[in-house]
Amino acid sequence: MTWILGVNAPPTGWHDTAACLVNGDGEVIAFTEEERCNRRRHSLYRKPAGAARFCLAQAGITAADIDVVALGWDSEQLYPRRFASDADFLAYAVGLDFGDHTPEVVRVPHHQAHAASSFYASPFTEAGVLVIDGHGENESSTIWHYKDGAEPRLERSWQRTASLGYAYDAASTWLGFSFLNAGKTMGLAAYGRATQLEVAPLVELTADDFHLAVDPLTENRGTATADEIKEQYDTVVGRWREHYTKIAGADGPNAPEDRLTEDPNAILVAYTAQRLIEQTVTHLAALTRKTAGVDALCLSGGVALNCSTNGTLPGPLYVPPVPHDAGVALGAAWTVRPPRRREGALSPYLGVEVGAPDRLNAAGAGDISGLVRAALDIDELAGLLLAGQVGAVAQGRAEVGPRALCRRSIIAVPDTADVNTRVNTLKNREQWRPFAGVTRPDYGSQLWEQQEYLSLYMLGAAKATALGRRVAPGVVHIDGTTRPQVLHGDEAPAVGAALDALQRHGAPPVLLNTSFNDKGEPVVNTADDALAAFRAMDLDFLVLGDALYRKPNRAGGVR
């Protein structure tokens, strides 16, 4: 059997490091982000050793069995002559002991890895693929044509410093966020949309191109080292920040992070940057379809995490569960060995198995002392939810990617706006940040605009209907949208069964769904993680595998 280990790894992939294992048929055996293993958010500058070890254990193999390590970057361009050999590179970047065997190292250009991760995860046999992020090695946006059985074609590319990602990073840092917290910028921008705020356009669109308000740099050559790219990044982001300062008349917000909605300048900058993304991505999406000569469209790259933009694009549209840099671990592996058989869209449940509850009493297992344990009864779970309790689910193999998809989720009935306040409080988040809803397909068609594929992974905003606003106000944002997930079968058994039980009780079968983690923490991974988070947070119950845990003196029942 052939084994390919895909990685996003330092020094090239210095954030959101990850590992993915595929076999000789291109079948994904395991895939997880390193942050889930080392419990350090975004796993900055850390090799994906824990993620790689999990992948090997899932397949029952050792590092000596790996034939190819595929990296989602051209490390030779970015760090020329840094490593004397592939063995030196693997020791630094991956951290596995390959023994006397050094696997082949394949360096896949960053945007190609992004494109492969999206197309081969999609249900399409042919598609145009649009990749937009901060930068790859030599580009910031690319258009590709992918077709099963054919070599992918790069159709168009835009230079590094004509970067939509840089423009959005500048807005995020102007607001006081990290560039890794761009989702906060998107959430704040909705307050501008809700008031129909007029903003100055930051892009000029032409028939087959776009020109940003901040001109790209003159790049003296097509390739650059990592140090040169960093210098370019700092220069361009600095110019964008100066531009936002001119727009706002201030060099930063006049309110703390938890009260940014009280600062008109903060809303103005967030919404101005958001409109730039929406206008340009809409234009590039149409250009991708025209250039590729096919209507099916795949998106990838960090900008594809912008759910508000995704939700405005016409279908057929697919965004994979891991569009950001962690996803190039999958795309690099698939570039080496594309999947031979594909049936529908990729399942995101490729991570660590939480472990059955009866294993919790083993040596070194999670501390369950003081908790009340019972076998999971779905009607009891529905009763707790209907009584207004907020709880968490940790069940089965974890989902990969930044969205909790009901296997590592906090859930609640969203029948009042107050639940939004409580869940933001227990997650130690700003009160202006929104939540997503999850339901079944038939009811989802009544609650919000339909999405064929985006609702598989909560990657597209959708306008809530009048019914949605009435029965689920806790998951409707200030601009009238939500970021829905639809469960089609038993892919998330406890939450799916709870939705069905709510309907049997005569209640709307819809739940608030958000990631099971406290502020600054990665999403929980193992039973130990789940129990520790349950104790630390003001949650009422925990579904762990097939058991229901509660804290003493917590009342509840069907109301």
Q: What pLDDT digit, counting tens, does each position of 90-140 carry?
A: 999 999 999 899 999 999 999 999 999 999 999 999 999 999 999 999 999
- Work out the percent of the chain whose per-residue pLDDT is above 90: 93
Averaged confidence pLDDT in the chain? 95
Q: Quick check: 268 pLDDT over 90?
A: yes
Is-contact 439 487, C-beta < 8 A? yes
pLDDT digits (tens, 9 = 90+) for 184-206: 999 999 999 999 999 999 999 99
The angle that helices 226-248 and 264-292 make with each other, rounded to 10 degrees, is 130
Binning pLDDT at 50, 70 and 90, where does residue 167 land? very high
State which H helix or E strand residue 19 sits in. strand 18-23
Binning pLDDT at 50, 70 and 90, where does residue 365 land? low
**Tokens linked to 401:** 């990617």
Q: Quick check: 559 pLDDT over 60?
A: no
Is-contact 191 261, C-beta < 8 A? yes
Q: Quick check: 295 pLDDT over 60?
A: yes
**Tokens linked to 518:** 């406290």
Give the pairing type, strands 3-8 and 210-212. Answer: unpaired
pLDDT digits (tens, 9 = 90+) for 373-386: 999 999 999 999 99
According to DSSP, residue 325 is labeled G
Helices (H) and strands (E) in the chain, counts: 17, 22
Q: Quick check: 220 pLDDT over 80?
A: no
- Work out the percent of the chain whose per-residue pLDDT is above 70: 97
Count Cβ neighbours within 10 Å for each residue of 437-470 and write b for 16 or more, e otherwise.
Answer: bbbbeebbeebbbebebbbbbbbbbbebbeebbe
Closest of 1, 14, 2 to residue 325, by C-alpha: 14
Closest of 348, 340, 347, 188 to residue 268, by C-alpha: 188
Q: How far is CA 75 from the centre of its chain?
A: 24
How confident is the model at residue 555, as a pLDDT?
58
Residues 6 or more apart whose CB falls under 8 angstroms from that of 533 comprise 392, 516, 517, 518, 521, 524, 539
Q: Quick check: 327 pLDDT over 90?
A: yes
Cα gap 15→325, rounded to integer Å:
8
Total-model pTM: 0.96
How confident is the model at residue 364, as a pLDDT?
43
Q: Quick check: 408 pLDDT over 80?
A: yes
Closest of 293, 290, 118 to residue 209, by C-alpha: 290
Rg value, the chain, Cα: 23
Q: Quick check: 362 pLDDT over 70?
A: no
Which residues have a catalytic role annotated?
15
Long-range contact set of residues 178-186: C-beta below 8 Å, sequence gap at least 24? 179/134, 180/15, 180/42, 182/302, 182/305, 182/306, 183/305, 184/430, 184/433, 185/270, 185/273, 185/274, 186/270, 186/274, 186/306, 186/307, 186/308
Binning pLDDT at 50, 70 and 90, where does residue 1 land? confident
19 burial type by CB count under 10 A (0-12 exposed, 13-18 middle, 19+ buried): buried
pLDDT digits (tens, 9 = 90+) for 39-94: 999 999 999 999 999 999 999 999 999 999 999 999 999 999 999 999 999 999 99
Give the pairing type, strands 3-8 and 141-147. Answer: unpaired
Closest of 548, 553, 526, 521 to residue 537, by C-alpha: 521
Distance between start and end Cα atoms, the chain: 56
How confident is the model at residue 557, as a pLDDT?
43
Is-contact 267 191, C-beta < 8 A? yes
Beta strands in 242-348 (DSSP E): 297-300, 317-318
